[in-house]
Amino acid sequence: MESAARLCDADHAWLFEREDEGLRWVASFGHATDVHEQIKAHFQTLLVPLDRGSVTGRATLEGTVVHVPDVLADPGYVWSGALKAQQIGNYRAALGVPLLRQGQVVGVIFITKTVPEPFTVKQIEVVTMFADQAVIAIENTRLLNELRESLRQQTATADVLQVISGSAFDLQPVFDTVAESSVKLCDAERAFIRRYDGEQLRVVAAFNCPPEFIEWCAQHPNRPGRQSAAARAALDRRTVHITDVRADPEYSYGAKDVEPVRTVLAVPILTGDELLGVIVIYRFEVRPFTDKQIALVETFADQAAIAIENVRLFDEVRARTEELSESLQQQTATADVLKVISRSAFDLPTVLQTLVESAARLCEAHKAVIVRPKGGALYRAEAYGFSREFIEAVWDLPIEPTPGSAAGRALLEGHVVHIADVEADPTYTFTAKSLGDYRTILAVPMLREGEAIGVLVLTRSDVRPFTEKQTETASTFADQAAIAIENVRLFDSVEARTRELAKSLGELRATQDRLVQTEKLASLGQLTAGIAHEIKNPLNFVNNFSALAIDLIGELEDTLQAAGLDDKVKAQITELADMLKGNLDKVVEHGKRADLIVKNMLLHSRQESGEHRPVDINALVAESLNLAYHGARAAKQGFNITLEQSLDPAAGKVDVFPQEITRVLLNLISNGFYAATKRKAEANSGDYEPTLTAVTKDLGDSVEIRIRDNGTGIPAEVRDKLFNPFFTTKPPGEGTGLGLSLSYDIIVKQHGGSIEVDTQLGEFTEFKIILPRSAASAAQYLEKVGEISHSRGGRRAGR
């Protein structure tokens, strides 16, 4: 906005964002602090209506640029809010440019002047261009926020699922996690989870709620009805969203008198049509929840229903087990094993060791072992009762799906294998059976989606077959082992995916930043190449004929001296000739400066960059320091500065365009000389000593170069513009504003590296360059950027 206002010679710039009901003021530029605060207060709760009563409303309604040279002379400018804003902002001329995304208006840039004069066509085109760029920035931000919000929701959902899996038979951690996640992800003030006991809705969990209010809710239970959001959700078995409880004639629940409740969302927890409870979240202000937030709480309700149903099923199993007295011991032991699994969900060796020991004890086996995947094959993992000699003999042998062993046969056939006596089974050929000291063997495959992922093996030293009940018990333990293995696999997969998403997000941000700058420079290169070539020819005529005119003036003076003119006329002619020669000298001087600017512009558009080869980066830095130092001493009498070097011997060679990297280093070093010399002049030759330091550092597959001066530093408002083409803080005639822009182009676009600046006003400025060590990495980056730029260019051409 600031740039748009300045380029259009405007006094103020405003930004409005479109909402469903109208336009929301976002920011403004150019007003004094007190006026800005008045504008902010004016638009705090006020939306600009989408009608013709204001310039911004008119631009949104029509989807085109609206230009009003004098709003006070416009009969359609009648909205009271706009007239009040005009009085506060003291503007007369107004220009409204819509921000269009896919044909839809998403906001308006509003440019104003304090005098009633029209904007030029060129100025309107400039603001329209800024509007297009603003839409791109808004869209990028929207996509990034959506990605971030999606990641947050996925992480929260995964957290709830993890709590459910880790607290399979304890609902309280599930309820607490659901309540906390609902508040944090939905930007709410409070969250309650109420369980339905058949008559009342009782609070079983709360988040961010004072104890006294929880106690009040316990003393005032809710029942299905119309008196509150929770009661309605329970009665209607559907989500209830009340925008403002104080404007709802049916809302009579006393909570609104105890707490400043305004917007409420209640989602029923259902199994089929059976009501299990209600999740309630609310805000202290009138601010409706979004569709995504409502959908998220509904997902949490589904997960809570699953957890409740899991606990119910477990309770039914436990109740049935208690009824079967002959299975009491086995069921109790099974529950103990499941408790270990729940407490050590991701400590797989502990879980499996507990399983194998419990299975052996309950099934009256002398020995037991679990076979599970390790490194792409199946090996014996946890064992119970076997001798050290047997374990050392077989532990590193992979289990093959063959009939020669019980475990291999179970893997091959995919079902339980029961061998009453291995000595009497002709197909049992496992040679280490004598070391194992067993006769009867039971092998139960651990199945996942019908595929065996491991085996639970039980043995007895005597010939004594396992009973059907013991086989069922062993199968139960095998199922639990399969679940434990799968849980760990899924958890590892979720962790890996989370790390991958986080890494991808970081890479996306970096790529977007580089892509934006690269596209700007590419566009500038194409534009400036044409302009520079068009200017070059007439500029050569100006420079050449100016120099020729100076020579002709000399000849004219010589000719007039020989003429018979009196002294007064000769003096007048000499004075005019001197003035004309002085003017031509200035034309030559500024023509040369213009020629330098054109040459620098052409540097942006050239394609060839000299030879690409490995060079010693330390030698390149040292040579650049030497060239810049002696060049500065030759150009300015009395110039002096202390040079310091810290060149890492391990920096080695880097595959670059040496000529281009030298150009960058000379530019940064010369800028450092300028800043240090300027600070010395401002210090009036005190105890300040100008110093410039060059540092290199090996980073493995890349190398770092730092150029630091102790000069004047860079103001904060200038720092973000450093790499913009034609931006310079040097006085006229001392800089073209293309040096740092060209340096950025060379480092980022040509070499796939990065360049950053760190500065403190009045203290120092340090440029840090990171260069890929090999040409391959830079080439891959450039290829990626080129593909993206080409696709974007194609879309532009299509429009």
- If we measure between CA atoms, which residue out of 766, 626, 667, 758 comes closest to residue 710? 766
- Of the candidate CATH numbers 3.40.1410.10, 2.60.120.10, 3.30.450.40, 1.10.3720.10, the domain formed by 340-607 belongs to 3.30.450.40
Answer whether residue 789 shows pLDDT above 50: no
Average pLDDT over residues 490-516: 77
% of the chain with per-residue pLDDT over 90: 27
- Output the pLDDT for position 697: 95
Options 3.40.50.2300, 3.30.2310.20, 1.10.260.40, 3.30.565.10; CATH for 613-797 is: 3.30.565.10
18: Cβ contacts below 8 Å, ≥ 6 apart: 24, 60, 105, 106, 107, 108
Task: Classify domain 167-319 at the CATH topology level.
Answer: Beta-Lactamase (3.30.450)
pLDDT value for 608? 47
DSSP 503-562: HHHHHHHHHHHHHHHHHHHHHHHHHHHHHHHHHHHHHHHHHHHHHHHHHHHHHHHHHHHH
Task: Identify which has the larger pLDDT, 519 or 2.
Answer: 2
Task: Specify the amino acid at residue 25.
Answer: W
Q: Which of 107, 110, 152 is nearest to 127 (CA)?
A: 110
pLDDT of amino acid 503: 82
Cα separation, 523 vs 24, in Å, equals 33
pLDDT tens, position by position, 220-262: 888 999 999 999 999 999 999 999 999 999 999 988 888 899 9
Q: How many residues does the chain have?
A: 799
Long-range contact set of residues 159-167: C-beta below 8 Å, sequence gap at least 24: 160/300, 160/303, 161/303, 162/491, 164/303, 164/306, 164/307, 164/310, 165/345, 165/487, 166/342, 166/345, 167/342
Are the folds of 167-319 and 613-797 the same?
no
Tell which residue, 247, 240, 249, 279, has the closest CA to residue 262. Answer: 247
| CA count, 13 A, side-chain hemisphere, 206 | 16
Is residue 264's pLDDT more than 50? Answer: yes
Amino acid identity, position 507: E
- Residue 798 tokens read as 């299509």
Q: Is the pLDDT of residue 680 over 60?
A: yes
Q: What is the mean pLDDT of the chain?
A: 82
Whole-number pLDDT of residue 193: 92
pLDDT in tens, 188-208: 999 999 999 999 999 999 999
> pLDDT exceeding 70 applies to what percent of the chain?
82
CB 617 within 8 A of CB 772: no
28-39 average pLDDT score: 86
pLDDT of residue 555: 78
pLDDT confidence of residue 791? 42
Give 308-324 pLDDT, tens digit per residue: 888 888 777 766 765 66
Return d(Cα 431, Cα 441) in angstroms, integer. Answer: 15
- Is residue 531 predicted with pLDDT exceeding 50? yes
Region 731-743: what's the mean pLDDT? Answer: 68
DSSP 306-359: HHHHHHHHHHHHHHHHHH-GGGHHHHHHHHHHHHHHHHTTT-HHHHHHHHHHHH
Q: Could you tell me if 450 and 414 are in contact, meaning their C-beta atoms sit under 8 angstroms apart?
A: yes
CB atoms within 10 A of CB 237: 13
The residue with greater pLDDT, 627 or 560, is 627
Sheet with 642-647, edge to edge strand ranges: 642-647, 691-698, 702-709, 764-772, 754-760
To the nearest 10 degrees (0 to 180), the angle between helices 121-166 and 468-562 is: 160
pLDDT at 783 over 60: no
- Whether 779 has a pLDDT exceeding 70, the answer reads no
Lowest mean pLDDT among 264-273, 473-482, 551-560: 551-560
pLDDT grade for 698, boundaries at 50, 70 and 90: very high
Residue 106: strand, helix, or coil:
strand
Check whether 777 has a pLDDT greater than 70: no
> Which string of b and e fits 742-771 if b means at least 16 CB within 10 Å?
bbbbbbbbbbbbbbeeebeeeebbbbbbbb
What average pLDDT does range 566-571 have in this prediction? Answer: 78
| Residue 613 confidence (pLDDT) | 87
Region 461-490: mean pLDDT is 86
In a 3-state reduction of DSSP, which class is residue 703?
Answer: strand
Tokens of 574: 């000499």
**Token pair listed for 166:** 């880790």
> What is the model's pLDDT at position 799?
30
Residue indicated by tokens 């203290």: 763
User: Which has the minimum average pLDDT: 316-330, 385-399, 619-633?
Assistant: 316-330
Q: Where exactly are the structural domains of the chain? A: 2-135, 167-319, 340-607, 613-797
**What homologous superfamily is domain 2-135 in, according to CATH?**
GAF domain (3.30.450.40)
* Mean pLDDT calculated for residue range 679-701: 87
Q: How confident is the model over 139-187, as pLDDT tens digits?
A: 776 666 566 666 666 666 666 656 655 555 678 888 888 888 888 888 8
Q: What's residue 781's pLDDT? A: 46
